Structure 1
Amino acid sequence: MAASKLPVLPVTNYPKKRAGGLFLHPVFYITCWIFFSNLTILFNKWLLDTAGFPVILTCWHMVFASLATQCLARTTSLLDGRHGIKMDRKLYVRAVLPIGILYSGSMVCSNLVYLYLNVAFIQMLKAASPFATLVVAWLWRQENPTRALVIKILVIVCGVLLASAGEIHFSWPGFLYQLGGLLFESVRVVMIHALMSGGDMDTDPLVSLYYYAPVCAVTNVLVAGVTDWPSFQWEDLARVGVGMLFLNAFIAFLLNVSSVFLIGKTSGLILHLTGVLKNILLVILAVLIWGTAIAPLQIFGYSVALLGILFYKMGWDEVKMHTMSFSNRYTDASGSTDEKKLATFVRRALFFIALVVVTVIVLRQRPPTGGLFTHAHSSPNSDVEKLPKPDVH
């Protein structure tokens, strides 16, 4: 399931702590987060194509996360931030419960959309999240958009519309599920902002997961009782394998852990740029693995949307300032010369691979006949989904 920004909870005067422990270069944390985020999405897509129980899969992820965070809270210091939260019934009902339900809705919609649309197009649609968040914040009376902000948002919307117009396997159900996921996520983000408006009251994603995972698990079980369970067959589970389900949930949990260290070791600008890079790499992987057909109009539209997102979140002056700051941190970072050379090599390799793959996509004159993985059946709604869709309604 898609990797999204996790909810935060109100806390008392508890100092922020950056992820400690053994020093590693920020490139390591960036690479880990990108790897686990994209691997989780691709793994989920494979499970849904193979077995097709989207809501049950989210249930399993949240049950695993609930158990894992309980174990970490009792055996490590990663969740010590929870001691700064004065959790009572009022706070639980006001913050944890609604945020957990909203995040559950976002996860369910985000998983259902993979039954109808390909991975690459889904990432393009997700670029519209700033627009949805701004609209919800305006309705919530948290934002009073300026002309400059509206222009930035319109650039993003135009890019997404261009990408949608170029989609070969467009599906209205998939589009509406993605829209629902964006709305759930936007309301969740705005609600978090409202809860935090009283002061410095945020905590890290892993502590948040400790609180809302049980709420999400219960909510998803109720939803699955209506959608997945009536058509679920144990043969679907056997086809995937119990071991693969455990591995999938473990990787999804590692994504949450890696996000904690990423936040602790990098700046806000690097977080934004890393998210853009992650989405671009995911689109490239979808093309390489499944042979997803990407039209030139989609590439242009997605590029416009990504540029709009960068303008929306910072602007050129802030980009330059943070880039210089990060460059100085990189130069002064402790570590061996070999380690710095390796980091430089990794960055150049990623750039070269992205450049080559994007060039190949642009030069293609016709849709591909297949990718690295091929299946016996095809779907009218997505070139990625090769098995018949289960009845989830």
Structure 2
Amino acid sequence: MAAYERLPTSEKTPPPPPPSRIGPKVQVALYMIAWTVSSNSTILFNKWIIDNSGFRYPILLTFWHLLFAAIVTQILARTTTLLDSRHDLPISRRFYLRTILPIGLASSGSLVLGNFVYLFLSVSFIQMLKASAPGIVLLASWLWGLASPSCGQIVNILCIMVGVAMASAGALDFSWVGVLFQAGSLVFEAVRVVMIQAMLSGRDMAMDPLVGLYYYAPVCAAMNLAIACVVELPHFEIQDLERVGWPLLLLSGVVAFMLSFTSMTLIGRTSGLVTNLTGIFKNILLVAFSTVVWHTPLSTLQVVGYSISTSSILYYAFGGDVGSGGYEAAKNWWAAAGTGDRFLFSPEKNRLHLKVCMGVVMGLFGLSSLYLFTSYHRE
């Protein structure tokens, strides 16, 4: 992978954003909802177009999504002020070749391989394999020198991998080709995330999400088109395009664009912890929904393996002190309620209540996912 440079800073200070009538917490919540809906919708659209509609051209489908994003950002740049901050970024040719191009290559690899997976695996099994993403990102961060994993983190990542391995062993639609495609997609995605993190880790270095799409989308689209000309266009048939229909392709392009925008915005406005937890909830919803739509059979070993990996991800995100802290908080809360303490809802105890709620949420995540999977499997 080519070396990369950090994003150059500009002496010009961008104007402050106009005040919003919506509070920051409400904005973050809306972005989380939008990201969850757009992400799951994109996955379901891709699966339906590639598998059910018979448009078995994953590279061309990825090219269409990136071309749509490139066209939209170009139009917005010329008709609105949403991308004016790009003028404050003195991006040189050297920076473009050593940073934008490698990130575009990693993004293309992740998207193309991720779409190829739909030809071989079910949506639910794909989401189970994606549970190994934190381990791959941690390994890539360590290789880039951005993280120093502790022994506890390594053990926790191994637990995630064990759960993924169990889910893979119990898969009824197992395919080595599909698993290898998914593994490659996760590696490319981890490299992309780490490179963006390294690029933006400097002081006062920031790139607006739409500006990022403005630069990345054309590069990724060109790379995908070059690959499609060799792999898919020689045997492309116009009847396959007519079978899908332009309205469905246009709608999938809109949803994919919203996913790119909301994911970059959510990463910029929240912490990695919030994004990871939102992703866990999103994946559980997607697995449950896909089993109903496509009637995907799930084995008991898959249920146990996915429950282990999901619980390990929650432990990796929260840490071990939340469970013990929630237990102690529950005891103190119950004791205070029994004595009629009028300071039951003091700021100090509110922090304990928050830990209790976090512990309850962790338990509900695991129990709800296990209930959904086992109930459907019994039917």
Q: Mark yes or no: TM-score above 0.5.
A: yes
Question: What's 2:373 paired with?
Answer: 361
Question: What's 1:44 paired with?
Answer: 46
Give me the identity figure in percent.
Answer: 46
Q: Indicate how the Cα distance of structure 1 residues 186 and 353 shifts in structure 2: closer, same or farther if over 3 A, else same.
A: closer
Question: What's 1:119 paired with?
Answer: 123
Matches within 5 A, 1:128-143: 128-143=132-147
Confirm or deny: 8 A CA contact 2:290 2:296 kept in the other structure: yes
- Taking the aligned partners of 2:317 and 2:373, their CA distance within structure 1 comes to 28
Q: Is structure 2 residue 160 aligned with structure 1 residue 156?
A: yes
Matches within 5 A, 1:134-283: 134-259=138-263, 262-263=266-267, 266=270, 268-283=272-287
Shift in Å at residue 185 of structure 1?
1.4
1:175-210 deviations in Å (ceiling 9; x for gaps): 000011111112222323333344342324322111
Which 10-residue stretch deviates more, 72-81 or 112-121? 72-81
TM-score (norm 2): 0.78
Shift in Å at residue 70 of structure 1?
1.3
Confirm or deny: 8 A CA contact 1:127 1:160 kept in the other structure: yes
| 2:109 pairs with one of 105, 108, 120 | 105
More RCO (CA 8 Å, sep 6+): 1
Shift in Å at residue 142 of structure 1?
4.0
1:272-303 deviations in Å (ceiling 9; x for gaps): 22111111101011011111112222122112
- Taking the aligned partners of 1:360 and 1:178, their CA distance within structure 2 comes to 24
Q: Indicate how the Cα distance of structure 1 residues 358 and 250 shifts in structure 2: closer, same or farther if over 3 A, else same.
A: same
- Taking the aligned partners of 2:364 and 2:143, their CA distance within structure 1 comes to 43
Shift in Å at residue 18 of structure 1?
8.1
Secondary structure of residue in 1 paired with 2:171: coil
Question: What's 2:62 paired with?
Answer: 58
Q: Indicate how the Cα distance of structure 1 residues 228 and 21 shifts in structure 2: closer, same or farther if over 3 A, else same.
A: farther
- Taking the aligned partners of 2:249 and 2:322, their CA distance within structure 1 comes to 43
Confirm or deny: 8 A CA contact 1:9 1:202 kept in the other structure: no
Confirm or deny: 8 A CA contact 2:67 2:218 kept in the other structure: yes
1:27-70 deviations in Å (ceiling 9; x for gaps): 43322221111011101111101111100001011111001011
Secondary structure of residue in 2 paired with 1:170: coil
Q: Indicate how the Cα distance of structure 1 residues 147 and 83 shifts in structure 2: closer, same or farther if over 3 A, else same.
A: same
TM-score (norm 1): 0.76
- Taking the aligned partners of 2:143 and 2:123, their CA distance within structure 1 comes to 31
1:293-325 deviations in Å (ceiling 9; x for gaps): 12222122112212222333342558989xxxx
Shift in Å at residue 246 of structure 1?
1.1
Q: Indicate how the Cα distance of structure 1 residues 187 and 53 shifts in structure 2: closer, same or farther if over 3 A, else same.
A: same
- Taking the aligned partners of 1:212 and 1:282, their CA distance within structure 2 comes to 27
**What letter corresponds to residue 23 of structure 1 in structure 2?**
I
Higher helix fraction (1 or 2) = 2
Secondary structure of residue in 2 paired with 1:127: helix
**What letter corresponds to residue 363 of structure 1 in structure 2?**
S
Confirm or deny: 8 A CA contact 1:17 1:264 kept in the other structure: no
Which 10-residue stretch deviates more, 296-305 or 156-165? 296-305
Confirm or deny: 8 A CA contact 2:281 2:365 kept in the other structure: no
Confirm or deny: 8 A CA contact 1:29 1:265 kept in the other structure: no
Secondary structure of residue in 1 paired with 2:177: helix
Confirm or deny: 8 A CA contact 1:9 1:203 kept in the other structure: no
Q: Indicate how the Cα distance of structure 1 residues 20 and 104 shifts in structure 2: closer, same or farther if over 3 A, else same.
A: farther
Confirm or deny: 8 A CA contact 2:209 2:265 kept in the other structure: no
Shift in Å at residue 140 of structure 1?
3.6
CA RMSD across the alignment: 3.1
| 2:74 pairs with one of 70, 86, 107 | 70
Question: What's 1:12 paired with?
Answer: 9
Shift in Å at residue 113 of structure 1?
0.5
Q: Indicate how the Cα distance of structure 1 residues 9 and 194 shifts in structure 2: closer, same or farther if over 3 A, else same.
A: closer
Shift in Å at residue 169 of structure 1?
0.7
Q: Indicate how the Cα distance of structure 1 residues 137 and 266 shifts in structure 2: closer, same or farther if over 3 A, else same.
A: closer
Rg: which structure is higher? 2
1:55-87 deviations in Å (ceiling 9; x for gaps): 000101111100101122233343344233221
Confirm or deny: 8 A CA contact 1:163 1:298 kept in the other structure: yes
| 2:89 pairs with one of 85, 95, 112 | 85
Shift in Å at residue 259 of structure 1?
3.4
Shift in Å at residue 356 of structure 1?
7.0
